[in-house]
């Protein structure tokens, strides 16, 4: 079975632009979470979605938004990009929302903001 | 927000040696997890702990959930070259509600000298 897939793998944007990152969870997994990993740090929780509804949100500004589709795939959107948004954005899935600690991560989308 | 203090930051060891790393928090967590991340990959779950005092093994890996709920350690016995990577502890406040996501430490970078 395919693991969590993310696209694009790498992208470069300039300050003020907008970016959309995409994630497909493991087949049968209904919950998708997004994490931001700045170089040299551990991942930081951004959002969790289950059955198309937002179930959790980390301490990120409103420039960050996400949604989940009926097929359980998800998009993370970031508006008005800042230099500090440069990071690896990780998507993770798990089967149900109540087992959210045991996550299966994708390889990430590396965003560079110039 | 919650912070996890993970130590050591990095370890340089010889193949065959045992490894020990730990994680402490000022806050109580109801779930402790240990993940490993290799270059270009997302984190992979190694061990999940759900009860204070719990000691769990996964092959050469052993982890414990501290009695106070504020700490956890991970031991690796007889290290081998493929153990190289960054090890992250992660804690979750809720018992599976998902609203809080995972809080990650900054990681322990394990380097093995042949």
**A98–chain B Cβ distance below 8 A for any pair:** yes
Q: Mutate which of A57, A101, A103, A105 to test chain B, going by most B C-beta atoms within 10 A?
A: A101
Q: B92: closest CA among A22, A5, A48?
A: A48
Closest residue on chain B to A110 (Cα):
B40
pLDDT in tens, B97-112: 556 789 999 999 999 9
Q: Mean pLDDT in chain B?
A: 92
Residue pair B91/B25 in contact by the 8 Å Cβ criterion: yes
For residue B90, the chain A residues in CB contact (below 8 A) are 42, 101
Provide the chain B residues 82-101 that lie in CB contact (below 8 A) with chain A: 88, 90, 92, 96-101
Dihedral sign from CA coordinates of B49, B55, B61, B66:
positive
10-residue stretch averages of pLDDT, chain A, 114 residues long:
92 98 95 95 94 91 97 97 98 80 94 98
Higher-confidence position of B95 and B29: B29
């Amino acid at each position: 079975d395919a693991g969590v897939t993310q696209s694009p793998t790498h992208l470069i944007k300039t300050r003020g632009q907008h970016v959309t990152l995409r994630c497909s969870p493991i087949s049968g997994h209904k919950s998708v979470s997004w994490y931001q990993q700045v170089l040299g740090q551990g991942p930081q929780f951004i959002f969790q979605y289950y059955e198309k509804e937002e179930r959790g949100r980390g301490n990120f500004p409103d420039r960050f938004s996400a949604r989940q589709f009926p097929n359980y795939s998800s998009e993370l959107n970031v508006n008005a990009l800042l230099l500090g948004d440069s990071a690896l954005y990780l998507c993770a899935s798990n089967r149900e929302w109540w087992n959210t600690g045991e996550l299966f991560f994708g390889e990430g989308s590396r965003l560079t903001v110039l | 927000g919650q912070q996890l203090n993970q130590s050591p930051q990095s370890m340089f060891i010889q193949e065959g040696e045992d490894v020990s790393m730990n994680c402490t928090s000022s806050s109580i967590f109801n779930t402790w997890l240990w993940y490993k991340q290799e270059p270009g990959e997302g984190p992979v779950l190694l061990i999940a702990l759900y009860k204070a005092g719990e000691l769990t093994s996964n092959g050469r890996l052993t982890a414990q959930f501290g009695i106070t709920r504020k700490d956890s350690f991970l031991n690796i016995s007889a290290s081998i070259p493929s153990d190289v990577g960054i090890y992250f502890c992660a804690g979750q406040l809720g018992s599976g509600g998902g609203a809080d996501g995972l809080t990650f430490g900054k990681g322990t970078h394990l380097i093995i000298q042949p």
